[in-house]
């Protein structure tokens, strides 16, 4: 990876800038390369729509600005604000619950007049932050009652988001919280017990699922059962990926995507476009970059200064990777279609904000460690 | 991990590191699973998905072949394909179809029937394919629409080919017409080959030779999107359609025109045949209809009007009209009596204007009140159309012998013309009467038959066919309108057999026909520039046995007398002719018109004049043309029908040469 960054010999202006803005050059490089690749794929998937491309570039730029901004906030400041943010977030979710804007059959948005925003997205960050804050001062590994307490902190927003209904985001929020529990040393027995408990609750949860969610799960189990209906997305996506072959059909030559067979091809299913046009090697490149980011992030959190940073940072980087795995698992037919975008590549701004905030926090944790190595 | 001391930061870090490593292992495992999954999809199953992807996007689109053209014997085009414009609407692209239709109607004339048809076809159509709304837009309408096109998304003008019959109604009895494929057609036609075809031959030559005329469908591969809309055409995989065969008919359109003009305003039919081949030169029925009406879907009102028209334009008199042959059949009875030895050339009877059967008080009148003289022989009887002579002849010959003989001349059977639906007429015999009415035959009935009345009916085609057989000394060639195509005849035999035969009953003749067809070498005739044409060999159906040639010559002479003798019934028409014609006039009583159509009997009662008939061939010595002419309610054959024959013969025998 990156060699000794304290060496004065290669202390160029760029390095100085990175250091001043508390950024990790390796991570920034990997992120921007991914963003660039994403734009290339988006150009193709959007049928070469420059307006879409421009919008995405602006979003990415804003995302980078947000990242830089959050990199300036020291972890202990975040820790201080965590409970307040959590309270505010849950209030927002309640507001959405009662007054939210309905789009695509789900109530997720809060209209602020000048902009609409999705509180559930921010909860992806706020929940781990709060759980990590909750862990502070408590000895690790976690005691049972602490696990229960943390679980409550997770389940409240989880329930509110699942009710919107946005099961995908709810699960990711839950996953973010669970990562904290896991990293906090929650005992294996408890985890297994929890999984068993969730398994036991499955029939009840199944009843609580909305019709389209039930259908999604069912078609996930047997996509061919409804090739023209709900299973259509998965089948067409698999055709796109499979027909891409080793080298792909070439940029802008994907027939599945360009002839509209592939649904949601700029957003949730953008990986299929990439797979169709760039083939197996294109996918390997993307997966390598994601894995690099994962390992780099892990390197950062392993050397983080305090528990809060470790837990939040670890949760952020793991959740990020969960997105990647869930999205690719979804488009390849390994997982149900839950509507998780491919980080940094999928078209869309909402998930980008939380994502780049997360990387900003990660950078901050990195910088914090650097300033006072401990 | 159980016994970790509470505030040991080092151990705490150790736990954390453990968990991170475990998480990393999980993550890398997940990546590995994804990679394996991708390997399976992209490399192991690549072919499967590749095929699926191809079939997803590629679709074969049928291209309709151009329908074969139809020419007359001199290369004059009788049916062609003309560029035409039609208005099409793509339902998937139009939000408010009713509103759009309403607005379109302000711009372009769209009948209710058009809309009705549009709605019907819309149900059948494929997504993103235009559904025709109006056909044959005029240049003006095309321009009108072009200006307003932006107001009508999803509506467009499409150029195509549309069948056009330059001679219109005059050729309709022969050619029939093509019309939109309907539900019934869908049951019988080869759907693959007709995928892009909109029209099919419904009547006449267009129907009979549908398989030849249609051609073979072509394909182009197109790339479509998920909605089925064509995005791109792929040139490499194109298969051009094979155009239909051009048909060269034996019809002589100039002759047909002359016949139509000669018939004037009268209703009637003219059929002219080349006796040496069976080639049909003229096939005319008047009044007729404009086939263009049917090509693009006739409106219900227009069709009802055609059907209700007392002049019955849809009725093809030449093939479907069954009329008593009247006196035109007399020469044949004369020939029958001679050949069967009932009488000889010297036989004569006295004619006083009426006839009585032995032991029967009933008087059978002659058309000439005071008779034809004390010694009327067969020749005079034919020339003057003496009824009494033929009463006596019928009595002497007997119905069954008459029937046996005249059947050889096609009565009561299909002629086998290559147009579907011909009526077979009727020639009675005792067996038929027993079967039909459960009664024995009365001799008195023979007398009516003897002068061409009674039960006997024949179509004008059958009369022309009879005349042709008499003209060719008993050689019966199948009447046909198809003269030549670019295909060798052996292939046509396979192709033409129509599945939807209306009247074709298998006859004993068929075998002989096939045998003859095979025996004759095919001949190639001079073709218009381009391809070589193969002439269809004449099909000899049978040869009427000739007992004595002098009997035939005798009848020929008698029939020449009809045209040229000072007493001949048709002398007025032929005394100035520079060639010799042989003919016979006839008059058919209208009562016998018994087609199965419902029309006002009172109206018909006013038009109760007899039908005028004339059969003839010429030159009498070496016949080149034989014909039958029917003028409905024309009165006498001599005055109404014979002059038409003269004009046709003049055109065919004289004008053709000069």
Cα A253 versus chain centre, distance? 29
What kind and span of H or E run contains B555?
helix B549-564
Alpha carbons A239 and B50: distance in angstroms, whole number: 7
CA end-to-end span of chain A? 21
* Confidence class for position B371, pLDDT limits 50, 70, 90: confident
β-partners of residue B629 are B270, B614
Half-sphere exposure of B446 (CA within 13 A, CB side): 25
pLDDT band for position B9 (50/70/90)? confident
Residue A56, classed as helix, strand or coil, is: helix
Q: Which of B5, B7, B18, B20 to mutate to test the interface with A (most CBs of A within 10 A)?
A: B20
Asked whether residue B507 carries a pLDDT value surpassing 50, the answer given is no
For residue A312, name the pLDDT band (cuts at 50, 70, 90). very high
Higher pLDDT, B34 or B132: B34
* Higher-confidence position of B482 and B185: B482
Q: Which of A239, A247, A287 to mutate to test the interface with B (most CBs of B within 10 A)?
A: A239
Q: How far apart are CA B210 and CA B8, in angstroms?
A: 97
If you ran DSSP here, which 8-state letter would residue B638 be given? I
Token pair for B144: 């009108």
Distance from C-alpha of B340 to C-alpha of B399, rounded to nearest angstrom: 13
- Give the DSSP H/E element, type plus range, for residue B134: strand B131-134
* Dist. CA B204–CA B247, nearest whole Å: 13
For A322, the closest chain B residue by CA position comes to B27
| Cα-based distances in Å from B550 to B54, B82, B159, B339, B459 | 79, 55, 64, 10, 29
pLDDT digits (tens, 9 = 90+) for B544-568: 999 999 999 999 999 999 999 898 8
Exposed, middle or buried by CB within 10 Å (0-12, 13-18, 19+), for B530?
exposed
Average confidence (pLDDT) over B373-384: 90
Cβ proximity of B656 and B618 under 8 Å: no
What secondary structure, in 3-state letters, does B429-488 show? CHHHHHHHHCCCCCHHHHHHHHCCCCCCEECHHHHHHHHHHHHCCCEEECCECEEEECCC
Q: How confident is the model at residue B508 (pLDDT cuts 50, 70, 90)?
A: very low
B24 touches A: beta carbon within 8 Å: yes
User: Does an H or E element contain B560, and which?
Assistant: helix B549-564
Of A183, A245, A259, the CB nearest to B231: A259
The better pLDDT of the pair B51, B315 is held by B315
Residues in chain A within 8 Å Cβ distance of B56: 236, 239, 255-256, 259, 261
Distance between CA atoms of residues B482 and B502, nearest Å: 19
| pLDDT-derived band at B502, boundaries 50, 70, 90 | very low
Per the structure block, which two tokens stand in for B556?
């020929």
- Percent of chain A whose pLDDT exceeds 90: 39
What are φ and ψ of residue B245, in 5° steps? -65, 140
The pair phi, psi for residue B338, each rounded to 5°, is -65, -50
Model confidence band, residue A333 (pLDDT cutoffs 50, 70, 90): confident
Q: DSSP readout, B507-532?
A: -THHHHHHHHHHHSPPEEEP-SSSSP
pLDDT at B593 over 50: no
Q: Which residues of B touch A261 (CB under 8 A)?
A: 56-57, 225-226
Tokens representing B455? 């039960």
Q: Is the pLDDT assigned to residue B37 strictly greater than 50?
A: yes
CB contact under 8 A, B23 and A238: no
Are the beta carbons of B38 and A280 separated by less than 8 Å? Answer: yes
Distance from CA of A207 to the nearest CA of B (A): 30
Range from A75-84, A213-222, B279-288, B616-625 carrying the lowest mean pLDDT: A213-222
A139-148, A182-191, B511-520: range with lowest mean pLDDT: B511-520
CA atoms of A180 and A312, how far apart (whole Å): 7
Residues of B carrying an active site annotation? 327
Question: B364 in the Ramachandran plot: left (φ > 0), alpha (ψ -120 to 50) or beta?
Answer: beta
Name the residue facing B53 among A243, A284, A298 (closest C-beta). A243
Report the SS3 class of residue B321: coil
Distance between CA atoms of residues B144 and B130, nearest Å: 20
**The two three-digit tokens of residue B203, written as one number:** 């009547």
Average pLDDT over chain A, rounded to an integer = 84
- pLDDT at position A321 is 93
The model's confidence at residue A225, banded by pLDDT at 50, 70 and 90, is low
**3-class DSSP state of B427:** coil
Q: Could you write out the DSSP letters of every residue in B351-414?
A: ESSEEE-TT---EEE-SSTT-SEEEEEHHHHHHHT-HHHHHHHHHHH-HHHHHHHHHTTTTTS-
A256 with B50: Cβ contact below 8 A: no
> Given an 8 Å threshold on Cβ–Cβ distance, is B31 in contact with A261?
no
- The tokens for A50 are 């420059």
DSSP codes joined into one string, A162-214: HTTT-HHHHHHHHHHHHHHHHHTT--HHHHHHHHHHHHHHHHHHHHHS-HHHH
Structure tokens at B214: 């249609």
How many helices (H) and strands (E) chain A has is answered by 14, 3
The region of weakest confidence among A214-228, A296-310, A360-374, B190-204 is: A214-228
């Amino acid at each position: 990876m990156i060699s000794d960054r304290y060496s004065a010999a290669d202390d160029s202006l760029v390095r100085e800038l990175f250091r001043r803005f508390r950024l990790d050059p390796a991570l920034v490089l990997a992120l921007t390369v991914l963003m660039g690749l994403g734009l290339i794929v988006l150009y193709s998937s959007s049928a070469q729509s420059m307006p879409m491309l421009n919008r995405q570039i602006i979003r990415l730029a804003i995302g980078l600005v947000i990242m830089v901004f959050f990199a300036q906030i020291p972890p202990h400041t975040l820790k201080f604000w965590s409970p307040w943010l959590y309270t505010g977030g849950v209030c927002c979710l309640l507001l959405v619950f009662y007054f939210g804007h309905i789009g695509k059959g789900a109530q997720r948005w809060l209209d602020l007049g000048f902009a609409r925003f999705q509180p559930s997205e921010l909860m992806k960050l706020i929940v781990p932050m709060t759980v990590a804050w909750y862990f502070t001062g408590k000895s690790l590994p976690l005691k049972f009652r602490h696990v229960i307490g943390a679980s409550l902190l997770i389940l409240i927003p989880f329930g509110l988001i699942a009710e919107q209904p946005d099961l995908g985001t709810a699960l990711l929020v839950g996953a973010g919280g669970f990562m904290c529990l896991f990293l906090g040393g929650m005992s294996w027995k408890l985890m297994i017990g929890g999984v068993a408990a969730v398994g036991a609750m499955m029939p009840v949860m199944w009843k609580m699922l909305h019709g389209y969610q039930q259908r999604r799960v069912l078609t996930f189990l047997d996509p061919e059962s409804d090739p023209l209906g709900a299973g259509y997305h998965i089948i067409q996506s698999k055709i796109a990926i499979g027909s891409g072959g080793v080298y792909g059909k070439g940029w802008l030559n994907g027939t599945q995507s360009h002839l509209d067979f592939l649904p949601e091809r700029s957003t949730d299913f953008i990986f299929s476009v990439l797979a169709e046009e760039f083939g197996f090697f294109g996918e390997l490149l993307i997966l390598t970059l994601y894995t690099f980011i994962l390992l780099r992030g892990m390197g950062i959190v392993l050397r983080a200064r305090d528990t809060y940073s470790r837990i939040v940072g670890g949760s952020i980087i793991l959740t990020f990777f969960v997105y990647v795995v869930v999205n690719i698992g979804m488009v390849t037919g390994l997982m149900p279609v839950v509507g998780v975008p491919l980080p940094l590549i999928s078209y869309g701004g909402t998930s980008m904000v939380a994502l780049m905030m997360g990387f900003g926090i990660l950078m901050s944790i990195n910088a914090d460690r650097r300033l006072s190595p401990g | 991990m159980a016994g970790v001391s509470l505030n040991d930061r080092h151990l705490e870090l150790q736990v954390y590191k453990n968990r991170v490593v475990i998480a990393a292992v999980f993550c890398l495992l997940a990546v590995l699973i994804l990679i394996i999954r991708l390997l399976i999809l992209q490399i192991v199953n690549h072919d499967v998905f590749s095929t699926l992807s191809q079939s997803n996007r590629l679709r074969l689109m049928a291209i309709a072949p151009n329908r074969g053209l139809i020419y007359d014997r001199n290369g004059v085009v009788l049916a062609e394909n003309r560029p035409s414009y039609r208005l099409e609407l793509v339902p998937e692209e139009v939000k408010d179809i009713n509103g759009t239709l309403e607005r379109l109607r302000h711009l372009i004339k769209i009948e209710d029937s058009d809309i009705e048809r549009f709605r019907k076809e819309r149900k059948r159509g494929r997504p993103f394919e235009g559904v025709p709304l109006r056909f044959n837009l005029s240049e003006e309408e095309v321009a009108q629409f072009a200006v307003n096109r932006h107001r009508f998304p999803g509506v467009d003008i499409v150029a195509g080919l549309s069948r056009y019959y330059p001679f219109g109604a005059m050729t309709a009895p022969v050619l029939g017409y093509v019309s939109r494929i309907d539900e019934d057609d869908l049951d019988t036609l080869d759907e693959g080959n007709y995928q892009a075809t909109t029209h099919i031959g419904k009547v006449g030559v267009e129907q009979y030779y549908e398989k030849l005329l249609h051609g073979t469908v072509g394909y182009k591969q197109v790339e479509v999107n998920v909605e089925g809309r064509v995005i791109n055409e792929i040139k490499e995989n194109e298969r051009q359609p094979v155009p239909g065969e051009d048909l060269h008919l034996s019809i002589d359109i100039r002759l047909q025109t002359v016949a139509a003009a000669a018939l004037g305003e009268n209703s009637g039919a003219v059929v002219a045949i080349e006796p040496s081949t069976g080639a049909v030169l003229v096939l005319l029925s008047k009044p007729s209809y404009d086939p263009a009406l049917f090509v693009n879907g006739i409106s219900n009102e227009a069709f009802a009007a055609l059907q209700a028209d007392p002049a019955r334009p849809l009725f093809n008199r030449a093939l479907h009209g069954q009329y008593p042959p009247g006196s035109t059949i007399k020469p044949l009875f004369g020939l029958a009596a001679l050949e069967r030895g009932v009488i000889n050339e010297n036989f004569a009877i006295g004619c006083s204007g009426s006839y009585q059967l032995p032991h029967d008080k009933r008087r059978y009148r002659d058309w000439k009140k005071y008779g034809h003289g004390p010694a009327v022989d067969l020749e005079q009887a034919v020339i003057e159309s003496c009824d009494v002579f033929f009463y006596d002849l019928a009595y002497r010959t007997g119905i069954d012998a008459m029937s046996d003989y005249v059947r050889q001349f096609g009565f009561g059977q299909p002629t086998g013309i290559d147009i579907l639906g011909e009526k077979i007429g009727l020639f009675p015999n005792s067996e038929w009467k027993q079967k039909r009415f459960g009664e024995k035959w009365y001799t008195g009935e023979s007398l009516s038959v003897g002068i061409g009345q009674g039960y006997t009916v024949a179509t004008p085609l059958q009369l022309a066919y009879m005349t042709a057989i008499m003209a060719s000394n008993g050689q019966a060639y199948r009447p046909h309108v198809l003269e030549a195509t670019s295909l060798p005849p052996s292939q046509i035999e396979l192709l033409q057999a129509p599945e939807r035969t209306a009247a074709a009953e298998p006859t004993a003749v068929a075998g002989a026909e096939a045998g003859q067809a095979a025996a004759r070498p095919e001949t190639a005739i001079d073709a218009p520039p381009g391809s070589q044409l193969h002439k269809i060999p004449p099909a000899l159906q049978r040869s009427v046995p000739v007992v004595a040639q002098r009997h035939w010559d005798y009848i020929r002479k008698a029939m020449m007398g009809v045209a040229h003798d000072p007493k001949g019934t048709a002398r007025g028409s032929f005394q100035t002719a520079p060639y010799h014609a042989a003919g016979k006039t006839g008059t058919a009583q209208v009562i016998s018109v018994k087609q199965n159509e419902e029309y006002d009997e009172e109206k018909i009662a006013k038009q109760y004049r007899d039908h005028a008939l004339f059969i003839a061939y010429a030159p009498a010595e070496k016949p080149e043309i034989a014909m039958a002419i029917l003028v409905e309610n024309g009165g006498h054959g001599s005055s109404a029908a014979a002059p038409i024959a003269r004009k046709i013969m003049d055109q065919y025998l004289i004008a053709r040469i000069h």
